[in-house]
Amino acid sequence: MWSDTSIPDLTGKVALVTGGNTGIGLQTVKQLALHGAKVYMGARSESRAKEAISSILSENHAIGQEHIIWLPLDLSKLFNIVEATQLLSSWEERLDILINNAGIAADDFTTTTEGFESTMAVNHIGHFVLTTKLLPLLKATASQAGSDVRVVTISSSAERFAPKHNVFATIKDLSDPGTTNLNDYTSRTVVFSRYGASKLANILFTGELQRRLDQEDVKIIALALDPGPVATDGDPASDTSEYIVVIPFEGNH
């Protein structure tokens, strides 16, 4: 059985984890740092990020302060994502691990300043832009001898709740993925539908990214994974009164 003891020595590696200040992301940041990686915690709130970093450092004295760094990142704002990638690229000459973890399931139908539905914007579009903008740094790292570059996107089996015959062909499709025919935009059915569409988009994006990397003979592995039902703030199915769930530490395994 795989466990945290299966993680190899990551000394010299650089990682970025989005949504790294809570849930699965927080546990992932901790494990990567414990195994020697320099980890950037992508998060919107500086105070919450620094509080999360302090909690990790206070409980794990083997981790130095220089091993976990806050990266200002708001996945609902495209200009902020671009700024974050530029900042990271100015700080680092390599990026070995990108973990697209952040996710939400908005109860209300809201849109971002760019006009995208919020769940799709954060869960997929934001990560699409982030990954695309960081590809030059990831590819440069992959070209080095002994590299093992990974792009890991946290998806979900909730993709099965995506509207049938979903086609992501236009901005409107991404902004309102097949839910206009449902009466209540805030019902659990519609919330799951929007969330499922974003998770389906994660999977499709990862498959296409890997296809293009293989076509270019770039030695990067792109993965989309389902962590299972985990009790996190962003999971619409994490109500422990109705579902069997595991805590984030178990889920990040």
117: β partners: 111
Q: Which CATH class is domain 4-251?
A: alpha beta
- The whole-number pLDDT of residue 174 equals 73
Q: Would you kindly state where each structural domain of the chain is located, as residue ranges?
A: 4-251
Q: What is the pLDDT of residue 111?
A: 87
Cα 248 to the center of its chain, rounded Å: 14
> Which of the residues are catalytic?
195
Q: What is the pLDDT of residues 74-125, one digit of tens each?
A: 999 999 999 999 999 999 999 999 999 999 988 888 889 998 989 999 999 9
Residue 246 CB contacts under 8 Å (≥ 6 apart), including other chains: 228, 229, 230, 231
Distance of CA 117 to the CA centre of its chain: 17
* pLDDT tens-place string over residues 29-43: 999 999 999 999 999
Instruction: Enumerate the β-bridge partners of residue 153.
Output: 100, 224
pLDDT score of 248: 45
CA angle 180, 182, 183 (to 5 degrees): 110
Extended strands (E) in 8-156: 14-18, 38-43, 68-72, 97-100, 149-154
Bridge partners (DSSP) of residue 41 are: 17, 70
Residue 234 confidence (pLDDT): 52
The pTM (predicted TM-score) of the whole model is: 0.86
* Cα of 25 vs its chain's centroid, Å: 8
Q: Which residues of the chain, if any, have pLDDT below 50?
A: 183, 237-253
How high is the pLDDT of residue 105? Answer: 86
Q: Are 117 and 191 in contact (CB under 8 A)?
A: no
Angle among Cα 143, 101, 67 to the nearest 5 degrees reads: 65
Amino acid letter for position 158: A
